[in-house]
Each structure stands twice: as C-alpha cells, then as structure tokens.
Amino acid sequence: MKIICVARNYPLHAKEMGSEPPSQPLFFLKPSTAWAASGEIPYPLFTQQLEYEGELVFRIAKSGKSISPSDAMGWVDALTVGIDFTARDLQAKFKKEGLPWDMAKGFDNSAWWGAWLPIPPGWEALPFSLQKNGKTVQKGTGKEMIFPLPRLLSEASQYFSLEPGDVLFTGTPAGVGPISRGDILKAFWGEQVVGEVRII
C-alpha cells in the first residue's frame, strides 16, 4: 500500500503557505509505515512544530496506469477524511534549502484516516471538517480543489501505477495549525464523525 498525497490543492491553503497555486498537481508519497492505524499519534521527537492537515482521502479500488480523467472515478471505491501530519519546521527548512520533504511528511504515524464510506453522488459539494479539542479548525468541500479528483487520479497514474488499497490524500483547505500532546482531533464528513486521533 502506498499513500499518494497532493500539495497545495486548495487556493487559500496555497496562500497561507505563501505559495502560488501550482500549474500542475504536485504529488509526494508517504510509505506504508506512515499509516497511523491505532489513532494514537506519538509526538515525534525530531520536530517542535507538528501540524495537522485535514483532507479528503480516497481509496484506490484496482490496478491502473495512465488512466484518463473521464474513466478515473472507476478507480476509487470509498472516501473518508484523514490527516496529513506534517513536521512544519523541518518542511520549512528543507523547502528553503531546496531539499526533498520526505522526512517532514513521511515519518511513522504521519498519515491517519477515518472509517471508509461509500462515495455519494455529488460528494464534491458536501462539507468535510476537522475539530481540534471540540473546535472546528478546518472546513472544505471537494469542489474547492484546484485540480479535481479525476485529474489527480489521471495525473498521479502517469507517474505511479495505482494498486488496490492505495490511498490518495487530496490536499488540505486553509486553517492548518500546530498541535500538542494531549490534543484530540476529530474528523467529520458532513455531520458524521469518521474517527478521532489523540496526540500522545
């Protein structure tokens, strides 16, 4: 299982990161060991600035390579809301030095997602959100994405063959922020809680 992620796919998040919206999807990968299956996230020792990025996450249903945008929705069979945990201080340092981000993004427990749900018609217009300690900190819909899901799937599959069980994080809306030990993050699809994590 691999975890494919998209950087800067919401205009207001690109802005809050001081970046221009990209001209093509910018993908990065997390290894299978990044999956936080337990929902307990140990605060990593190598960062002073662990941040949450709440995102819509899709599950890849079948193998594919160079799929077209018009067929792409046939490659996903479930969605949920997840968190792309980021060591923001390391990422900022690596970006400044023009170095790869992997250590800031792909560490153990850096990818969590909630319970898988069927993809309803019109899902792009339905809100997802993230609460930190009971307060909503991020809210978005799929239709705000700079590159819509079929384009992401098509483009990702030009570079990385898709395999069943792979996971696609589709980018975070504005409102990313820091977390501390003891914080509880709760992910919502509409009004429905899909899961929660605790930082330990």
Q: Report the interface residues with Mg ion, using CB under 5 A.
A: 53, 84, 172
Consecutive H or E run containing 28: strand 26-30
**How wide is the angle at C-alpha 30 spanned by C-alphas 150 and 96, nearest 5°?**
100
Q: What's the min distance (Å) between Cβ of 45 and Mg ion?
A: 22
Return all residues near 158 (Cβ < 8 A) that are at least 6 apart. 66
Q: What's the min distance (Å) between Cβ of 144 and Mg ion?
A: 14
- Of the CA atoms within 13 Å of residue 106, those in its CB half-sphere come to 15
Q: What's the min distance (Å) between Cβ of 169 and Mg ion?
A: 6
Bridge partner residues of 177 (DSSP): 52
Nearer to Mg ion, 13 or 120 (CB): 13
Nearer to Mg ion, 91 or 172 (CB): 172
Nearer to Mg ion, 62 or 89 (CB): 89
Return all residues near 10 (Cβ < 8 A) that are at least 6 apart. 140, 144, 145, 146, 171, 172, 173, 174
Nearer to Mg ion, 13 or 59 (CB): 13
Nearer to Mg ion, 12 or 62 (CB): 12
What single DSSP character describes residue 143? G
Q: What's the min distance (Å) between Cβ of 48 and Mg ion?
A: 19
Q: What's the min distance (Å) between Cβ of 170 and Mg ion?
A: 9
* CB-closest chain residue to Mg ion: 84
Please tell me the distance from the alpha carbon of residue 200 to that of residue 181, in angstroms, as a whole number.
5
Nearer to Mg ion, 49 or 62 (CB): 49
Q: According to DSSP H, which parts of the chain are helical? A: 11-16, 88-96, 102-105, 149-159
Q: What's the min distance (Å) between Cβ of 69 and Mg ion?
A: 22
